[in-house]
Amino acid sequence: MGATLSNVNAPKTRGVSPSTTLSTEELRKINAYWRACNYLAAGMIYLRDNPLLREPLKAEHVKNRLLGHWGSSTALSFSYVHLNRLINKYDLNTIFLAGPGHGAPGVLGPVYLEGTYSEIYPTKSEDKEGMCAFFKEFSFPGGIGSHCTPETPGSIHEGGELGYSVSHAFGAAFDNPDLLVAVVVGDGEAETGALATSWHSDKFLNPIRDGAVLPILNLNGYKINNPTLLARVSHEELDDLFKGYGWDPHFVEGDDVELMHQKMASTLEDCVLQIRGIQEEARASGKPSRARWPMIVLRTPKGWTGPKEVDGHKVEGSWRAHQVPLAGVRENPAHLKLLEDWLRSYRPEELFDESGRLISELRALAPTGTRRMSANPHANGGLLRKALRLPDFRDYAIQVEKTGQTAAENTRPLGRFLRDIMRQNPSNFRVFGPDENTSNKLDAIYEVSKKLWLADYLPEDADGGELSPDGRVLEMLSEHTLEGWFEGYLLTGRHGFFSTYEAFVHVIDSMFNMHAKWLASSAELTWRAPVSSLNLLITSTVWRQDHNGFTHQDPGFLDLVVNKSPDVCRIYLPPDVNTLLSVANHCLKSTGYINVIVSDKQKHLQYMTMDEAITHCTKGVSIWQKASNDEGSEPDVVMACAGDIPTKEALAAVVLLREHFPNLKIRFVNVVDLYRLVPSTEHPHGLSDRDFDSLFTKDKPIIFNFHGYPWLIHRLTYRRTNHKNLHVRGYKEKGNINTPLDLAIQNQIDRFSLAIDVIDRVPVLQAAGAHAKEILRNMQINCQNYAYEHGVDKPEVDQWTWPG
Amino acid sequence: MGATLSNVNAPKTRGVSPSTTLSTEELRKINAYWRACNYLAAGMIYLRDNPLLREPLKAEHVKNRLLGHWGSSTALSFSYVHLNRLINKYDLNTIFLAGPGHGAPGVLGPVYLEGTYSEIYPTKSEDKEGMCAFFKEFSFPGGIGSHCTPETPGSIHEGGELGYSVSHAFGAAFDNPDLLVAVVVGDGEAETGALATSWHSDKFLNPIRDGAVLPILNLNGYKINNPTLLARVSHEELDDLFKGYGWDPHFVEGDDVELMHQKMASTLEDCVLQIRGIQEEARASGKPSRARWPMIVLRTPKGWTGPKEVDGHKVEGSWRAHQVPLAGVRENPAHLKLLEDWLRSYRPEELFDESGRLISELRALAPTGTRRMSANPHANGGLLRKALRLPDFRDYAIQVEKTGQTAAENTRPLGRFLRDIMRQNPSNFRVFGPDENTSNKLDAIYEVSKKLWLADYLPEDADGGELSPDGRVLEMLSEHTLEGWFEGYLLTGRHGFFSTYEAFVHVIDSMFNMHAKWLASSAELTWRAPVSSLNLLITSTVWRQDHNGFTHQDPGFLDLVVNKSPDVCRIYLPPDVNTLLSVANHCLKSTGYINVIVSDKQKHLQYMTMDEAITHCTKGVSIWQKASNDEGSEPDVVMACAGDIPTKEALAAVVLLREHFPNLKIRFVNVVDLYRLVPSTEHPHGLSDRDFDSLFTKDKPIIFNFHGYPWLIHRLTYRRTNHKNLHVRGYKEKGNINTPLDLAIQNQIDRFSLAIDVIDRVPVLQAAGAHAKEILRNMQINCQNYAYEHGVDKPEVDQWTWPG
The C-alpha of B190 sits at a distance from chain A's nearest C-alpha, in angstroms, of 8
Instruction: Quote the distance between the C-alpha of residue A708 and its chain's center.
Output: 22
Q: A594 and A634 share a domain?
A: no
Cα–Cα distance for residue pair A735/A750, rounded to 1 Å: 13
Hey, is the C-beta of A196 within 8 angstroms of any chain B C-beta?
Answer: yes
> Least CB-CB distance to B197: which of A192, A479, A736?
A192
Mean pLDDT of A474-503: 97
pLDDT digits (tens, 9 = 90+) for B201-210: 999 999 999 9
Q: Is the alpha carbon torsion for B201, B202, B205, B206 positive or negative?
A: negative
pLDDT given for residue B18 in this prediction:
58
- Is the pLDDT confidence value at B14 over 60? no
Sequence-distant (6+) residues with CB within 8 A of A667 are A623, A628, A630, A635, A637, A638, A639, A697
Q: B674 and B786 share a domain?
A: yes
> Least CB-CB distance to A521: which of B163, B464, B550?
B550
Q: A211 and A170 share a domain?
A: yes
> Least CB-CB distance to A456: which of B143, B232, B520?
B232
Hey, is the C-beta of B313 within 8 angstroms of any chain A C-beta?
Answer: yes
Q: In this structure, are residues B529 and B491 in contact, taking their beta carbons and an 8 Å threshold?
A: no
Residues 537-556 of B with CB under 8 A from A: 546-552, 554, 556
DSSP bridge partners of A728: A704
Cβ <8 Å between A192 and B193: yes
Cβ <8 Å between B737 and A559: no
Per-residue confidence band for A439, with pLDDT thresholds at 50, 70 and 90 = confident
Sequence-distant (6+) residues with CB within 8 A of B537 are B411, B414, B440, B497, B498, B499, B500, B584, B597, B599
Hey, is the C-beta of A60 within 8 angstroms of any chain B C-beta?
Answer: no
Hey, is the C-beta of B262 within 8 angstroms of any chain A C-beta?
Answer: no
Residues of B in contact with A503 (CB under 8 A): 161, 510, 513
Per-residue confidence band for B801, with pLDDT thresholds at 50, 70 and 90 = low
Cα–Cα distance for residue pair A663/A661, rounded to 1 Å: 5
Q: B572 and B651 share a domain?
A: no
**What CATH number does the domain containing B745 carry?**
3.40.50.920
Sequence-distant (6+) residues with CB within 8 A of A432 are A473, A474, A475, A482, A483, A485, A486, A496, A497, A498, A499
- Tell whether A1 is covered by a domain: no
Cα–Cα distance for residue pair B519/B497, rounded to 1 Å: 17
Cα–Cα distance for residue pair B515/B593, rounded to 1 Å: 10
- Is the pLDDT confidence value at B7 over 60? no
Hey, is the C-beta of B510 within 8 angstroms of any chain A C-beta?
Answer: yes
Mean residue pLDDT across chain B: 95
Buried (b) or exposed (e) across B160-172, using 16+ Cβ within 10 A?
bbbbbbbbbbbbb
ipTM of the complex: 0.96
Per-residue confidence band for B1, with pLDDT thresholds at 50, 70 and 90 = very low
Write out the residue range of the structural domain in which residue B579 sits: 398-604
Q: B444 and B568 share a domain?
A: yes
- Is the pLDDT confidence value at A423 over 80? yes
Per-residue confidence band for A405, with pLDDT thresholds at 50, 70 and 90 = confident
Cα–Cα distance for residue pair A79/A81, rounded to 1 Å: 6
pLDDT digits (tens, 9 = 90+) for B527-573: 999 999 999 999 999 999 878 899 999 999 999 999 999 999 999 99
pLDDT digits (tens, 9 = 90+) for A732-741: 999 999 999 9
Provide the domain count of chain A.
Answer: 3
What chain B residue is nearest to A554 in terms of C-alpha separation? B513
DSSP label at A523?
T
> Least CB-CB distance to B145: which of A228, A464, A548?
A548
Q: B580 and B639 share a domain?
A: no
pLDDT given for residue A802 in this prediction:
66
Mutate to test the interface with B, among A158, A485, A554, A797 (most CBs of B within 10 A): A554
**C-alpha closest to that of A78 among A96, A91, A90:** A96
- Tell whether A449 is covered by a domain: yes
pLDDT given for residue A10 in this prediction:
40
The C-alpha of B665 sits at a distance from chain A's nearest C-alpha, in angstroms, of 27
Q: What percent of chain A has pLDDT over 90?
A: 91
DSSP label at B673?
B
> Least CB-CB distance to A507: which of B2, B242, B510?
B510
Hey, is the C-beta of A245 within 8 angstroms of any chain B C-beta?
Answer: yes
Mean pLDDT of A419-440: 94
- Tell whether B379 is covered by a domain: no
Per-residue confidence band for B436, with pLDDT thresholds at 50, 70 and 90 = confident
- Tell whether A431 is covered by a domain: yes
Residues of A in contact with B235 (CB under 8 A): 1
Mean pLDDT of A283-306: 97
- Is the pLDDT confidence value at B91 over 80? yes
Cα–Cα distance for residue pair B160/B374, rounded to 1 Å: 19
Cβ <8 Å between B737 and A227: no
pLDDT given for residue A9 in this prediction:
38
Per-residue confidence band for B491, with pLDDT thresholds at 50, 70 and 90 = very high
The C-alpha of B22 sits at a distance from chain A's nearest C-alpha, in angstroms, of 28
Mean residue pLDDT across chain A: 95
Mean pLDDT of A449-472: 94
- CA distances, B476 to each of A188, A191, B501, B520, B803 (Å): 9, 7, 13, 29, 44
- Is the pLDDT confidence value at B749 over 50? yes
Hey, is the C-beta of B164 within 8 angstroms of any chain A C-beta?
Answer: no
Instruction: With residue B594 as reference, give the H or E element that holds it.
Output: strand B594-598
Cα–Cα distance for residue pair A458/B572, rounded to 1 Å: 55
- Tell whether B545 is covered by a domain: yes
- Tell whether B15 is covered by a domain: no
Phi, psi of A797 (to 5 degrees): -60, -35
Q: B100 and B163 share a domain?
A: yes
Q: A604, A637, A665 — which closes off a domain?
A: A604
**C-alpha closest to that of B99 among B215, B241, B247:** B215
More confident residue, A563 or A438: A563
Q: B358 and B405 share a domain?
A: no
By the 10 Å C-beta count (0-12 exposed, 13-18 middle, 19+ buried), A529 is classed as middle
Q: A118 and A49 share a domain?
A: yes
Q: B200 and B305 share a domain?
A: yes
- Tell whether B384 is covered by a domain: no
Cα–Cα distance for residue pair A416/A341, rounded to 1 Å: 66
Q: B316, B350, B367 — which closes off a domain?
A: B367
Hey, is the C-beta of B145 within 8 angstroms of any chain A C-beta?
Answer: yes
pLDDT digits (tens, 9 = 90+) for B616-652: 999 999 999 999 999 878 999 999 999 999 999 999 9
Q: A383, A409, A437 — which closes off a domain?
A: A383
Q: B599 and B627 share a domain?
A: no
Hey, is the C-beta of A625 within 8 angstroms of any chain B C-beta?
Answer: no
Cα–Cα distance for residue pair A691/B330, rounded to 1 Å: 53
Residues 323-352 of B with CB under 8 A from A: none
- Quickly count: other Cβ atoms within 10 Å of residue B332's Cβ: 15
The C-alpha of B316 sits at a distance from chain A's nearest C-alpha, in angstroms, of 11
Cβ <8 Å between B197 and A195: yes
Hey, is the C-beta of B72 within 8 angstroms of any chain A C-beta?
Answer: no
Q: Is the alpha carbon torsion for A130, A134, A140, A144 positive or negative?
A: positive
Residues of B in contact with A478 (CB under 8 A): 191-193, 196
Mean pLDDT of A236-262: 98
Residues of A in contact with B721 (CB under 8 A): none
> Least CB-CB distance to A232: which of B141, B192, B455?
B455
Residues 404-463 of B with CB under 8 A from A: 435-439, 451, 453, 455-458, 460-461, 463
Mutate to test the interface with A, among B432, B563, B674, B720 (most CBs of A within 10 A): B563
**What CATH number does the domain containing B546 carry?**
3.40.50.970
pLDDT digits (tens, 9 = 90+) for A584-639: 999 999 999 999 999 999 999 999 999 999 999 999 999 999 999 998 789 999 99
Per-residue confidence band for B803, with pLDDT thresholds at 50, 70 and 90 = low
Q: A567 and A705 share a domain?
A: no
Count interface pairs A-B at CB distance under 8 A: 397
Mean pLDDT of B716-745: 96
Strand, coil or helix: B162: coil
- Tell whether B502 is covered by a domain: yes
